Structure 1
Amino acid sequence: MQVQISHDLKERWDNVCLGVLIYSANVEGSSPQLVEFFQRTIDQLNNQYSMPEIADIPHIRSTRNAYKALGKSPSDYRNAAEAMLRRIVKSNGLYHINNVIDINNLMSVTTGYSIGSYDTEQLSELVELRRAPDGENYQGIGKEAVNIEHLPTLYDRLSAFGNPTSDSRRAMIQTGNRTIMTVIYSFDGKSDLQEVIDRYCELLIQYCCVEEINTIFVL
């Protein structure tokens, strides 16, 4: 996969970068060990934060500021890390999806980065992060048309398929043997990304038996 960031987006928000992991995994229900780790982490976060504190978590705050600079309301279109943490602090928990997505969501809520995971077989080889144009929308996962205009959004040669708020159905992760591209969306530079990627790799190896992971920084 070749991943890049558009010049227009960089001009509007220079501190954007991506951490990308590409790997193959057998996507299935989470093991009892992962479910236990997942729930323990959710309980800790529920006790750690109050609702007003969530928007001030550094990586969430930078994402919100980038949304404002791009012309999108960060309160009306919350990034995924913020939205999930708000569920957790309200004691609503998080759904278990599968092993890959459960790790995706755990890494997101523990770091404040919004993270998306995508089935590479549904994508063309060139992917670009762009500011979505006026009126743009796509069919979301578990949703009808999602308004994505002005959001920082991933496109391939076919269409838009993912952003830090809500991903499309086209490249969603389904069960079975899949080659996956996970994208960590950063709007405050790459200083923390290597540590986050290292931890992400540890969890994929431990809970998904992933053997080889290619990582890329896109600046």
Structure 2
Amino acid sequence: MTFTISPAIKQCWPETALGLLLYQVQVAPSSPQLLAQFDQTVASLAQQYTLDTIAKHPHIAATRQAYKALGASPHEHRNAAEAMLRRVVKQAGLYHINNVVEVNNLISISSGYAIGSYDLDQLQGQVVLACPPAGARYEGIGKGSLSIAHMPVLTDDLGPFGNPSSDSRRAMIQPGLRRVASVLYAFDGAEGLVPWMQAFEEALRTHCGVSSVTQQRIE
């Protein structure tokens, strides 16, 4: 299985890139150590940001600009990093789901990159980041039917399944032994991905017992 970016996306927003981590993991409730680190990071970021400064973070700002260029409203479709940081600043808290999702969200709010983690066994064929046609929708995790038109969306042979704002239910991470692809969505080039992909791998090894991770940058 390969991950690529469609020529149409690259033409519209040349700085689009993906950071890809592939690994096998036992998905389970998060350890007390992971939850403590997660909650400590949330508390720290709540003091660091205001609602006005979140949108100025370079990675978040680039994502918002890319959305506009593709024809999507960054206000109606807030990218996941921005949406979570807004909850953090509002003291609304973030949900605890499982070890992989906690690591996903920890790195996302720390880096400003929207990140999605997907069950590889629920995907078929090759994966492309592309813009679906007008009227395209899918069932979002906890959000019902979502419009994904004009969005940068990961699509396989079965159709669209993930984007920087909200992922579909099809490839969501559930408990058990899983093969997972975690995708960092970058819209300001690939260079900044390197330290955060490494941080993601280290967190997987520390908190999820992952022994082997394959990293790729896709431009």
TM-score grouping bracket, smaller chain normalisation: over 0.9
Question: Which residue of structure 1 aligns with residue 116 of structure 2?
Answer: 116
Q: Distance in 1 between matches of 2:21 and 2:215?
A: 5
Structure 1 residue ranges, 4+ long, deviating more than 3 angstroms after superposition: none
Question: Which residue of structure 2 aligns with residue 164 of structure 1?
Answer: 164
Deviations 1:48-102 (A, max 9, x none): 1111000000000000000000001101110000000000000011000000000
Q: Distance in 1 between matches of 2:23 and 2:45?
A: 28
Residue 18 (str. 1) matches residue 25 (str. 2) = no
Question: Alignment partner of 1:171: what SS?
Answer: coil
> TM-score by structure 1 length?
0.99
Question: Which residue of structure 1 aligns with residue 173 of structure 2?
Answer: 173
Question: Which residue of structure 1 aligns with residue 142 of structure 2?
Answer: 142
Question: Which residue of structure 1 aligns with residue 204 of structure 2?
Answer: 204
Question: Which residue of structure 2 aligns with residue 69 of structure 1?
Answer: 69
Question: Which residue of structure 1 aligns with residue 188 of structure 2?
Answer: 188
TM-superposed CA distance for 1:125, in Å, is 3.5
Residue 5 (str. 1) matches residue 5 (str. 2) = yes
TM-superposed CA distance for 1:154, in Å, is 0.2
Question: Which residue of structure 2 aligns with residue 49 of structure 1?
Answer: 49
Question: Alignment partner of 1:101: what SS?
Answer: helix
Deviations 1:94-127 (A, max 9, x none): 0000000000001000100000000000001410
- Letter of the 2:90 counterpart: K
Deviations 1:134-154 (A, max 9, x none): 111000101211011000000
Q: Distance in 2 between matches of 1:18 and 1:143?
A: 25
Residue 97 (str. 1) matches residue 97 (str. 2) = yes
- Letter of the 2:191 counterpart: S
Structure 1 spans left out of the alignment, 5+ residues = none
Q: Quote the sequence identity (%).
A: 49
- Letter of the 1:144 counterpart: G
Q: Distance in 1 between matches of 2:144 and 2:199?
A: 34
- Letter of the 1:24 counterpart: Q
Deviations 1:186-207 (A, max 9, x none): 0000111111111111100000
Across the aligned residues of Structure 1 and Structure 2, the Cα RMSD in angstroms comes to 0.6
Structure 2 spans left out of the alignment, 5+ residues = none
Q: Distance in 2 between matches of 1:193 and 1:144?
A: 31
- Letter of the 1:27 counterpart: V
Question: Alignment partner of 2:207: what SS?
Answer: helix
- Letter of the 1:82 counterpart: E
